[in-house]
Structure 1
Amino acid sequence: MLKIFDLSLKLNGFPLEKARRLLLEILLVPEAQYESFIEQKKKEIVAFHLEHNSFYRDLAKDFDGNWESLPIMRKIDFQRPLVERLSDGYTPKSVYQNKTSGSSGDPMVFARDKMAHALTWANISRRFGWYGIDFNHSWQARFYGMTLDFIDNKKLRLKDYLSKRYRFSIFDLSDDALEKVVDKFRSKKFSYINGYTSPIVLLAKYLKKKNLILKDICPSLKVCIVTSEMLFEDDHKLLEDQFGVPVINEYGASELEVIAFENTDNEWIVNSETVYVEILDENNKPVPYGQEGRIVVTSLFNKAHPFIRYEVGDFGILDEKSTAKKPLLKKLTGRTNDFAILPSGKKPAGMTFYSITKKLFDDDGNVKEFVIRQTQKDIFEINYTSERVLTETEMKHIEKVMGDYLEPGLQYIFNRKDVLERSSSGKLKQFVSLVRD
């Protein structure tokens, strides 16, 4: 049978077979030697970019040979034309390039050399293979954003078809639209679901309301893989109950690749094959396993463009059971730019508000989705979609619980919406603060 996924990569110049051989070599490095292997790869990628990349040489001018003297790279560092950031011998036409969605700030154009891109896909394919998914033959139900431009949309649809994907619109999540989604599952043999958490959760809520199990409707379905947005435990259970298949948490960044992926033992395994992940404190020092810090990632094989000690914008914790070869992500705790500033000076993470409100809203299933916006230090807008308007009693109860948990004297404005505003990529940003320190 024709392997369209493999063929498409090869026709575009990505050396997939060579990448698979390299990945196998990495996987065969014994645990006892793995820390030394990673240290060598870190030295090699830094030496390469210091010699061949003037952009990185300028950033790392204070490097003294000690890894911790290397600068922390941030998105703001990349706000210049891509051609100025590429290593010697690479051009925009000779690399894979794309851009981030901009959901956590300004979009950023990035690049990978063709070998690094092939290695990325070899590693992603391996992880999906844990669940019987083969990109060459398995049909994907895709819940990502899409362009609304007519020509670009047709191109995307063709690309999806050749990649064995069917893309659902996530900009209309009404009951009528979700019924059409369910009808598509009745008529097509999907192997897996992949996409943003929030629209997939809405699909599960719709199925629950209709007393339907997706696996009964689509017996070929094997697994659901959610990404890009926080998956809470109660939503995880809802998805598994209504889909009838395992629900897997993926964590990654488009400019890098998959950073962590749940295995069949429910361990959130950090990618240690092609990236190096650090958890740092406010002084850029590594924290011990089990402690929270900023997630910083180094791409070990991307020679076209440096991502060395790159701050992805999230807080997380590595499990105490982590090893060099098998680091485990214990928890994602929120984004670095999602902190509220209260009148007292307290700075709770935005996910604190979201977690509290979610538990309150989920009591009867009335509220479908919501977004919290801090407009002033003491004022929070709670925008929500629902079957019915929240009652005065419900709003007062939410205000009391929030005040008890955070601090008294805060004001909450509830706005019922027909549709919540999403980013251009389709992501739902659940907490936004317009207040600056």
Structure 2
Amino acid sequence: MSTTNELDVWRGLPALQQPQWDDPAEVRAVVEELAQLPPLVFAGECDQLRERLADVARGEAFVLQGGDCAETFAGSNADAVRNKLKTLLQMAVVLTYAASVPVVKIGRMAGQFAKPRSKPGEARDGVELPAYRGDMVNGLEFTPEARRNDPRRLLRAYHASAVTLNLCRAFTKGGYADLRQVHRWNQDFVAQSPAGRRYERLAGEIDRALTFMKACGANPDEFHGVEFYSSHEALLLEYERALTRVDSLSGLPYDVSAHFLWIGERTRQLDGAHVDFLSRIRNPIGVKLGPTTSPDDALALIEKLNPAGEPGRLTFVTRMGAGRVRDALPPLIEKVRQSGAPVAWICDPMHGNTFEAPSGHKTRRVDDVLDEVAGFFEVHRALGTHPGGIHIEFTGDDVTECVGGGHPIVEGDLHQRYETACDPRLNRGQSLDLAFMVAELYRKS
């Protein structure tokens, strides 16, 4: 069990990607206020997710994790949250029904307000200002006032997360996520897209299956709600530490800002603050692994983050890029398999496939996203291991941020509805395209 002093070892270690605050006293006051606020999630929920991820590690379930690249405070409203949740539910229905696999649903929601950046500043027309680090730190508008790192935003992030989680719980437990609503989730712009029409046919099959089950005496109330879990990158350590509590039942520390937390590719140094801090909490955790990760790096992370070999504790989220996944991934999986460590493997096909269009927009080709997922499945199939899930950035809105898809967007369309605060996201039609492809790949694996 980690003591309070052990939870603060990270303070003496290199902590990358932390914002520079103007007033340390103001930061201390904010952190003290955060430490007195109620938990956003509960230890028992985190334990339940760890059990579900243990099923994934054993090859008995599949993870669907997704949401915004960077949430915004303005986006913490009922319509935006419902639309993202609708997308996740539709994808999960496709995977569950078409692939016949239990799906663990994790939102990249209710806390994804901070982003690592490759450069500390941003220049426009000869003016340089601090980089936008997410609404938890500063504002997107390119002005000195907006780009000031403001610690009071940590409190706004907490309250926006609470609002989002409250909405998610209401939608997933209050009947909106009822499996008998599958047609109603499709009554908008997606319905007339190729993916939407394909989904509608599947929804008809589900209706007939539910009618048959009811006739056989099955209880339809079993389909009333779904399990839903929250996640975000554990980037700003002052925020995560302030929201860490010792569970009254077990006496163990949990970071109650989210059910599932991950360490990013830029902050996974073995001797760094992020790895140390997450090694001391009881939540299920993940680590992003890029194409430069060596097999020994993977084993060292396992030893640091899950030395007891607890199933469901550790997930590796691979982000290799479509051109690298088939070469870079096999050595990692082989080495980890030989070690016997119980790791769940998830594919992030987004972050290795970003490029800049001639218009200056950051974008991704849907074909590259699909190809990386296909490569992920091919590698696991060849090695006899389990492709455990996907981790994607999407929105429930009809945006034009990624090019391609069944209802194709071309580079000249990007300006029409390019709304992301950071990286480009799949829209709902493109997300459904991906879900159908993943279902087909899973049946073959």
User: Which has a greater percent of strand?
Assistant: 1
- Quick one: higher RCO (CA 8 Å, sep 6+), 1 or 2? 2
Structure with more of its chain in helix, by fraction:
2
